[in-house]
Amino acid sequence: MAITEYIPGKRLKGPFPENERQIKLVVAYDGTGFFGYQKQAHHETIQEHLENALSKICNEPIVVYGISRTDAGVHAKGQIVSFFTTGSIPAENVARATIAFLPPTIVVRSAEEVPREWRARHTMVGKEYVYRLHVSPVENPITMRYHWHIKKSLSFDAMREGSTHLLGTHDFTTFKGANGNPTDPIRTIHSIDIRIEGESVTIHFIGDGFLYNMVRNLTGLLVDIGLGKRKASDVPKYIEACDRKVIGKTAPAKGLCLERVIFEEER
């Protein structure tokens, strides 16, 4: 007999049904056309599609819990979600079963059963986001849904110099989006790696966590430095200002991808 009950967006604490299981998914999606990950009224979201698909597969109402609330237009290669079910479907069959119920732009890459007490946020130690740029006078229509087109050349040496000032633990209030929820602005960035392959440039950010719009604002600042609009040596004073207004525009959502979530065992 089920003792817990399911409430949208919330799960009451146990005791739990004896036959209840928790399943962890790795999900990839093209964020174009979706209003972000988190379910919202009157908008199409990733969470809504996952819950609808899993509810049909498990034949019961399903609530999924995601590790990252990606914004509208942001993509993911390694989003982590989990859900509880009393259904009998084997975990290894979930990914294949969802194909019939999800749009082609959302894919469950893998599924595995985890202990009922497992919580992603308690075992996560970091995230990797990748921001993609296309640096060329001419746009590339093949990949334009997944990058920010920069028409002028960039000084990558200057961008790398600027990125060194962002490493470590800081108050990143300056880089927080104006509409973000109140949260602790202290974050640690472990690495920023700028990789160049022809006209394609990727900026890899690894940190213990990121504020709302933080990666996109960091990218916007680095691009301004690369364009010569700002100096790399001024980055510390931008951090110290704790004021979003001291830096420039936010990089477009379409260039950003949640690459992976890093757990304790992968540290």
| Catalytic residue IDs | 71
| Residue in the block written with tokens 């510390």 | 236
Amino acid at 176: K
Residue 164 CA from chain centroid, whole number: 23
Give the separation between CA 50 and CA 10, rounded to whole angstroms. 16
Nearest to 76 by CA among 54, 94, 100, 49: 49
DSSP states along 215-248: HHHHHHHHHHHHTTSS-GGGHHHHHHHT-GGGS-
Give the separation between CA 178 and CA 181, rounded to whole angstroms. 9
C-alpha distance from residue 242 to each of 59, 160, 199 (Å):
49, 22, 34
